[in-house]
Structure 1
Amino acid sequence: MDPVTALERIAFLLERELPSPHRAAAFRSAVGAAAALPPEPISAADAERLPGVDPVAARVIADATAGRTPRYLLETEARAAAGPAPSPAALRLREKLQGDCHLHSDWSDGTVPIELMARTAGALGHHWAVLTDHSPHLTVAHGLSAERLREQLDLIEDLNGRLAPFRLLTGIECDILADGSLDQDEELLGRLDVVVASVHSEPRMERDAMTHRMLAAVRSPLVDVLGHCTGQRLGERPRPPSEFDAEAVFTACREHDTAVEINCRPDRRDPPDDLLTLAADLGCLFAIDTDAHAPGQLDHQIGGCERAVALGLGAERVVTAWSVEHLLAWAGAR
Structure 2
Amino acid sequence: MDPAWALREIAFQLERAGEPTYRVRAFRNAAATVDKTGAEKLAQLAENGTLTSLPGIGKATAGVIEDALAGRDPAYRGKIVDKELPDGEPLRSALRGDCHTHSDWSDGGSSIGEMAVAGRDVGHEWMVLTDHSPRLTVANGLSPDRLRTQMQIVAKANELMAPFRLLHGIEVDILDDGSLDQEEELLGQLDFVVASVHSKLRMPARDMTRRMVAAVRNPHVRVLGHCTGRLVVGRGRPESEFDAEAVFTACRENGVAVEINSRPERLDPPMRLLRLAAEIGCDFTIDSDAHAPGQLDWLGYGCERAIKAGIGPERILNTRTADALLTR
Give the equivalent residue in structure 1 for 2:92: 94
2:102 to 83, 99, 104: 104
Distance 1:111 1:73 in 2: 21
Question: Residues 85 and 314 (structure 1 numbering): CA distance in 2 closer, same or farther, change over 3 Å?
Answer: closer
Give the equivalent residue in structure 2 for 1:51: 55
Larger mean Cα displacement after TM superposition, 146-155 or 47-56: 47-56
**TM-aligned CA deviation for residue 46 of structure 1:** 1.4
Larger mean Cα displacement after TM superposition, 269-278 or 231-240: 231-240
Amino acid in structure 2 at the alignment position of 1:121: G
Distance 1:33 1:180 in 2: 45
Distance 1:83 1:8 in 2: 20
What pairs up with 1:141-152 in 2 under 5 angstroms?
141-152=139-150
Identity of aligned residues (%): 55
What pairs up with 1:60-139 in 2 under 5 angstroms?
60-76=64-80, 79-80=81-82, 82-83=83-84, 86=87, 90-139=88-137
Give the equivalent residue in structure 1 for 2:302: 304
Distance 1:119 1:64 in 2: 21
Q: Could you tell me the TM-score, scaled by structure 2's length?
A: 0.95
**TM-aligned CA deviation for residue 91 of structure 1:** 2.2
CA contact 1:102–1:291 (8 Å) conserved in 2: yes
**TM-aligned CA deviation for residue 276 of structure 1:** 0.8
3-state SS of the aligned residue for 1:293? coil
CA contact 2:85–2:298 (8 Å) conserved in 1: no
Q: Could you tell me the TM-score, scaled by structure 1's length?
A: 0.93
Distance 2:245 2:48 in 1: 59
**TM-aligned CA deviation for residue 54 of structure 1:** 1.7
Give the equivalent residue in structure 2 for 1:292: 290
Deviations 1:92-133 (A, max 9, x none): 211111111100111110111101101110111111111100
CA contact 2:285–2:318 (8 Å) conserved in 1: yes
Deviations 1:163-210 (A, max 9, x none): 100111111000000111100001111111100000000000011000
Give the equivalent residue in structure 1 for 2:315: 317
CA contact 2:103–2:291 (8 Å) conserved in 1: yes
CA contact 1:44–1:62 (8 Å) conserved in 2: no
Larger mean Cα displacement after TM superposition, 150-159 or 39-48: 39-48
3-state SS of the aligned residue for 2:220? coil
Larger mean Cα displacement after TM superposition, 157-166 or 36-45: 36-45
Deviations 1:248-296 (A, max 9, x none): 1011111111000000000100001111111111111000001100000
Q: Note the residue ranges of structure 1 that are not aligned, 5 or more in a row.
A: none
Give the equivalent residue in structure 2 for 1:17: 17
**TM-aligned CA deviation for residue 43 of structure 1:** 5.2
CA contact 2:85–2:301 (8 Å) conserved in 1: no
Give the equivalent residue in structure 2 for 1:7: 7
3-state SS of the aligned residue for 2:5? helix
Give the equivalent residue in structure 2 for 1:243: 241
Larger mean Cα displacement after TM superposition, 21-30 or 152-161: 152-161
**TM-aligned CA deviation for residue 34 of structure 1:** 2.9
Larger mean Cα displacement after TM superposition, 14-23 or 44-53: 44-53
Distance 2:200 2:32 in 1: 41
**TM-aligned CA deviation for residue 315 of structure 1:** 1.1
Distance 1:172 1:303 in 2: 23
Amino acid in structure 2 at the alignment position of 1:5: W
Amino acid in structure 1 at the alignment position of 2:75: R
Larger mean Cα displacement after TM superposition, 39-48 or 53-62: 39-48
Larger mean Cα displacement after TM superposition, 31-40 or 174-183: 31-40
RMSD (CA atoms): 1.5
Question: Residues 245 and 276 (structure 1 numbering): CA distance in 2 closer, same or farther, change over 3 Å?
Answer: same
Distance 2:19 2:211 in 1: 32
**TM-aligned CA deviation for residue 222 of structure 1:** 1.1
**TM-aligned CA deviation for residue 75 of structure 1:** 2.2
Larger mean Cα displacement after TM superposition, 3-12 or 242-251: 3-12
CA contact 1:44–1:61 (8 Å) conserved in 2: no
Larger mean Cα displacement after TM superposition, 36-45 or 287-296: 36-45
What pairs up with 1:225-244 in 2 under 5 angstroms?
225-244=223-242
Aligned residues: 324
Amino acid in structure 2 at the alignment position of 1:197: A
Question: Residues 44 and 258 (structure 1 numbering): CA distance in 2 closer, same or farther, change over 3 Å?
Answer: farther
Distance 2:143 2:235 in 1: 30
Distance 1:84 1:126 in 2: 18
Q: Note the residue ranges of structure 2 that are not aligned, 5 or more in a row.
A: none
Larger mean Cα displacement after TM superposition, 132-141 or 312-321: 312-321
1:327 to 304, 325, 328: 325
